Amino acid sequence: MNQRNAEKLKYELLETWNTFNHYMTEALTFQNSEDIHQARVHLRKLLTFMQLYDTKPSTYRQLKQLMEALGAVRDGDVLLEGLAVETELDQAFVEHVETQRAKDRTLLKARVTEKMTPSLDQQVRRFIGGQLFRAFRKQDAAVFLDKAKADRKRRIATHHAATKRNDRLDTLHKVRLAVKRERYLNEYLLNYEPSASKDQVQKLKRLQTELGDMNDRHQLLLRWTDFTPPAALTDDYKEVVQKLHTRLDESVDAIKL
């Protein structure tokens, strides 16, 4: 990548970091669940570029911990937004999810206070303007796209080799993350790298949506199995869990990689 394009990409990524900081500040008010979502998306994009390296930068672990805390809150938001309360069991489950989300929000606040320091900000900016900038300036960015594509294909092959239910779910989760990374790299490099493809972005978006729907079903099942219903509602609870198992299995079987 030439000097000019490397500079442009550097400023795009610095703006991504600035945007993450904006949404992270807004997210802690918990007034709009979209703030949590956007904070996660922008942080995931930055992590994508850090994951290009076998030896991750020093900030990677801290940002991963922030991502995990954001993810727990986001999962609760998505579940609650999609739940319809029609029965006494539904109401008990909603209260269970709300209680857990409150704990997750408390943890997120603590993580932000601990991790989001001026030192972290400086380190991320140095990584983008230094190590990453030099890497793009010195070599063809197509190498990074090829690496992301190879990682996705490797994870798909691992999924096809899996036979146990839990192993298939785990491998699909890893495929979903690999798809996101490849998509984000293509999106950022569209203006700078000829091998970056809009068609590939659209293909990856469709696959990401399909895998995301499956993951939502999995997360819903996990929350239900973590929930202990009132004794009088045990039979209804077992019926709900069985239906969720069936829907998840159907969703997994329907995915074409």
> Which of these, 104, 103, 200, lies nearest to 145 by C-alpha position?
200
> Which of these, 69, 77, 67, lies nearest to 32 by C-alpha position?
77
Domain ranges of the chain: 1-139, 140-257
| Distance separating alpha carbons of residues 56 and 71, to the nearest angstrom | 21
pLDDT of residue 91: 96
Exposed e or buried b per residue across 17-47, where buried means at least 16 C-beta atoms within 10 angstroms of its C-beta: bebbbebbebbbebeebebbbbbbbbbbbbb
Exposed e or buried b per residue across 104-113, where buried means at least 16 C-beta atoms within 10 angstroms of its C-beta: bbeebeebbe
What pLDDT tens digit does each residue of the chain (257 aa) get? 888 989 999 999 999 999 999 999 999 999 999 999 999 999 999 999 988 876 778 889 999 999 999 999 999 999 999 899 999 999 999 999 999 999 999 999 999 999 999 999 999 999 999 988 988 888 888 888 999 999 999 999 999 999 999 999 999 999 999 999 999 999 999 988 888 989 999 999 999 999 999 999 999 999 999 999 999 999 999 999 999 999 999 999 999 88
pLDDT of residue 152: 95
Q: Which two tokens stand for residue 229?
A: 């219903």
Note the Cα 187 to chain centre separation in Å: 16
